[in-house]
Every structure is written in C-alpha cells, then in structure tokens.
Amino acid sequence: MRIIGTGSALPRKVVTNEMLTGFLDTSDEWIYPRTGIKTRHVITDENLEDLGAEAVSKALEMSGLNAEDIDLFVVSNVVSEYVTPSISCIIGEKLGLKCPMFDINCACPGFVYALDMVEAYYKAGKIRNAIIACVEEPTRMASWKDRGTCVLFGDGAGAVVLTEGDNVKGTKLHSEPSKEEIWETITLNDTPYITKKEETVPMQMKGREVFKFAVNACTHGVEDLLDEVGIDKDDVAYFMIHQANQRIIDAIIKYMGQPAEKFPVNITDHGNSSSASCPILLDECNRKGMFKKGDILVFSAFGAGLLSGAAVIEW
C-alpha cells in the first residue's frame, strides 16, 4: 500500500516539567536529562475519540478521499473510557465510515502492527483504501504520585490514509511475552461469585529492563528487516523511532552508526504518546515538507507485551 494522507491531533493543555513540581518531588533538572522531555500534552475536557476523529479528518483531507472510499479502519488503542463499543466504531460513527473496523491493543508498537495488518488485507485483495488511527491517553494509566512514570507520558492521536501501491517494502513483528516489565491492572465490576483477589494498580514499569529490550529489539529488528528487503541503512532517509525516551533513541542512534539528523524527534514537546507517537511524528515531519518522493522511511516501535515491530516504507 501507499500512504497518501497523514493527520494528528493533540490536547490543548500543555504541562511543563516546572508545573509538575507543584505536586511531585521532581524538577526539570531531574526529568529532562533522564528522558529528553520538557513538556507534554494532557487531556483535560477533551474526549479521546474526538482527537481521533480530528486526526483522521486531517488525513482524509490530505488524501483527497472521502469516508465512503474507505474499505477498512483499524484503530490502535490501549485504554479509553469505553470498554465497548470499540473506539474505532465510536470514531467511525463521527466520520460516517461504513467499512469493517476494529481495535487492536499492541501497546506502543500498535502503528506498525496495524500497518502489517492492512498490508496483509491489501495483498489478499480484500481492500483498496484503508485508515490507521492511533489514539492514546497514557496519562490516564500512570499514577500522578509516581515521578518515575507519570512524567513520561503525553496524550494524542495520529492517523494515516493508505491506498493501492507497492510502497510498504516490508514489516517485521517480534514478541518476547512477559508481563513483568510493563503492566497495569483494573478491578472489574463485582459479581456474587467472585472469590479471587482483584486490585487496581496503575502502570508499573521496570525502566532498565524496558530500556534494554527497546534498544535490542529496535536495532536488531531494523537491521534484519533492511537485510530482508535489500536496502542499506545508508540509503534510509529517516528512521522514525517510537518516542519513548531520548536516552533510548540516543542509544539506537549510536548502535546504528547513522547521523542523528536522520532520526526526527518530538519527545521534547510531546513525551511518550504510546502507539500515537509514530504517526504523530510522521504527520509533523510530513507537514514540514521533510519527505520527497522515493525517500525510504524506517519505522520502529517497542513496548508492553513485550512487543516490537519495524516497517520499511517508500514515500
């Protein structure tokens, strides 16, 4: 398939590191060197589905397609206020979409997983046009009393519209199943028969283990995929890396031996927006005019599961 439209949407509220010092034992001097984050966008009175609809609308407008042209709508989302219906259906109703649609929860690499899925549908001859939207509010998952997690995240939505083409050169998905590194639990509604212990626990994260997995999964996944599709990393125009932590990105840059200029970043302003980070970064770079026809873009993302994925796209 071929990307013909991109869009993104962010909450209005911008929270600086300095603002966090009002209720956390932290500071910009503590946060920025460890994460690369200065500010993040945080949902206040917005609904996540409205941000998703805005991002999709922008991508559709750029593509020149209409809602009735879309054959498949895939939404990557980890958490929202709705258990059911799916957030894809809620956004789809707002936009007048009538095609098959579903949600996936692959955490931060959700964009790459969705890309792999829609490409498979296209190659099977089932679709011509598709939309991927990644809509996330990870600020609702962390405890805002835990400076080790809440300072990392920001909310937002990113979307792409794809049509017929041979521009997805390859995808590679990877898993190392383990719930110990990143996890969160919620208590479900009670029944007269529940005897097991249940507990609501905000996001827990083992930073060192996550760092190691992220760097290894990204570098090995990207190199293996580039070898498979026969593209040298020197010929890659941009590496679009999940914006999880600047230290992770810096370690990946060092390992890959490529110029830092080939690794666009927006984590300083946005923080980690889970699966939305890659399509938001893509849209911002696209609207700046950074890409030219024929450019090779490499996407790589990693997160809870543990899951990771890489994709090579020709612009």
Spans of all domains in the chain: 2-166, 170-314
Predicted confidence (pLDDT) per residue in 84-99, tens digit: 999 999 999 999 999 9
pLDDT value at residue 77: 98
Q: Which of 108, 134, 150, 278 is catalytic?
A: 108
The per-residue pLDDT for 250 is 97
Q: Which CATH architecture has domain 170-314?
A: 3-Layer(aba) Sandwich (3.40)
Considering the entire predicted model, what is its pTM?
A: 0.96
Question: What local confidence, expressed as pLDDT, does residue 289 receive?
Answer: 97
In this structure, the strands spanning 201-205 and 238-241 are unpaired
Active-site hit among 77, 167, 245, 272: 272
In angstroms, how far is CA 186 from the centroid of its own chain?
22
Percent of the chain with pLDDT over 90: 100
Integer CA distances (angstroms), 56 to 41, 133, 202, 220, 254, in order: 19, 7, 29, 32, 35
- Where the chain has pLDDT below 50, the residues are none
In the prediction, which pLDDT does 301 show? Answer: 98
Q: Choosing from 41, 242, 245, 278, which is the catalytic residue?
A: 242
Please give the pLDDT value at position 254.
Answer: 96
Is residue 128 exposed (0-12), middle (13-18) or buried (19+ Cβ within 10 Å)?
middle
CATH topology of domain 2-166: Peroxisomal Thiolase; Chain A, domain 1 (3.40.47)
Residue type, 31: I
Please report where in the chains the tokens 């679009």 appear, as a residue: 240
Please confirm, yes or no, whether 242 is among the known catalytic residues.
Answer: yes
Confirm whether 272 is a catalytic residue.
Answer: yes
Residue tagged 């835990």 (tokens): 146
Q: Cα-flanking dihedrals φ and ψ of residue 105, to 5°?
A: -125, 90
Q: What is the pLDDT of residue 51?
A: 98
Position 168 scores a pLDDT of 98
> Model confidence over 16-63: pLDDT tens digits?
999 999 999 999 999 999 999 999 999 999 999 999 999 999 999 999
Pairing of strands 168-178, 156-163: unpaired
66 SS3 class: coil
pLDDT of residue 187: 95
